[in-house]
Chain A
């Protein structure tokens, strides 16, 4: 992790907030890889699936991106969210974890690996009202665009956007309230 990364990631997120979807996709992919490296190294014992925490962190970054001050560095903000989500994931399972701030310096990006395990996010998705659930699935799992999703369900693009936004916010809220963890 270098100063160059920091500058590039800040630039991407600024562009994303200004409405550049391509910059946002780039930002999210790079952050996901970084977070995966960080979180996998933090979770040494079983019980918590690192990829669940990666997904939870990405969702939190998304719904809380208005809390980033655009003139402040982005990585301390990202890691603070990841740490919070990691600690929360352990707390939900009745355990504690200590995370040093210096650990962050040694993080390396890692690619996603396939797992057969059921994801926390699927459980959260199942809890959504049917309209939101089908829109979120269409855009994510089925990989459809907003326009294709609107055509599939015969609703307006605005309605798709609203359902998608509310659905994602609701999933993030469920994670925050700890209602999706594996017992």
Chain B
């Protein structure tokens, strides 16, 4: 087939429509949030003292970390799935969440006596944390990887890893409403491990599933 002939076929298919990628990403984000919310409510649900806890700074800080991660990852993945889009600024914003956690850890180390560091870090929920963040996040990750296939990421492995961080930030936001361990020491350790696992799945998905 000559290129001339191929162009004839492409031109004849000009009227086929697909939803613009930008709009599709918003739809995917909505679907992922609903999916995560359903899994969360059907399994662990929010902690019973949610309203009381909502007045404590450590509890609220968890949401700041996870929401900042999710929002910055969302901005990055939209750029990463568009060929030729500049990704630098959005990717730089993804450093915000880890930096905030690092600052919180330092403050916590100053405020809490050394004898308690160990118990604060180990907490009472680490297995649940490491199990449920990936469990809540795996459905959203599947949606995001599917979206990357719908898009055109020129760095699929990186885009897949960011999809995992986005799913992780979203899942951790829900999980934070359940978890009794509010210390930044706990968050910095176990949330990070759980979210990193999703990022790894995402990178693998990007490598083997996101082909175009």
Contacts and interface: CB of A to CB of B under 8 A. Distances in A.
Interface of A: 16, 19-21, 24-25, 28-29, 32, 36, 51, 54-55, 58-60, 62-69, 72-73, 76-81, 83-84, 112, 114, 119, 121-122, 125, 136, 139-141, 143, 145-146, 161, 164-165, 168, 172-173, 176-178
B186 to A, nearest CB: 40
A153 B151 CA distance: 34
B89 interface: no
Contact of A136 (B9, B20, B83): B9
Chain A to chain B: the 4 pairs with minimum beta-carbon distance, closest first: A80-B83, A76-B84, A80-B84, A140-B9
A78 B209 CA distance: 23
Interface in B26-80: none
Interface stretch (B10-18, B104-112, B163-171, B199-207): B10-18
B7 A67 contact: no
13 contacts: A28-B11, A32-B3, A51-B3, A58-B10, A62-B13, A64-B212, A67-B83, A72-B84, A80-B154, A81-B84, A83-B154, A161-B15, A161-B16
A78 to B, nearest CB: 8
Contacts of A55: 1, 3, 6
A140 B81 contact: no
A66 B19 contact: yes
A124 B152 CA distance: 20
Interface of A (DSSP majority class): helix
A84 B84 CA distance: 10
A139 B12 contact: yes
B4 interface: yes
Given A64-B212, A168-B13, A25 B154 contact: no
Contacts of B21: 66-67, 69
B82 interface: yes
A178 B10 CA distance: 21
B1, B82, B85 pick with most chain A CB within 10 angstroms:
B1
A58 B3 CA distance: 9
B83 A140 contact: no
A65, A140, A178 pick with most chain B CB within 10 angstroms:
A140
Given A119-B1, A177-B211, A165 B16 contact: yes
Given A55-B3, A83-B154, A16 B14 contact: yes
B84 A79 contact: yes
A78 B85 CA distance: 11
A97 to B, nearest CB: 14
A88 to B, nearest CB: 9
Contacts of A122: 1
Contact of A168 (B9, B24, B83, B152): B9
Given A66-B18, A77-B82, A165-B16, A141 B212 contact: no
A164 B18 CA distance: 15
A80 B85 CA distance: 9
A174 to B, nearest CB: 10
A77 B10 contact: no
Contacts of A143: 5, 8
Interface string B74-118: 000000011111000000000000000000000000000000000
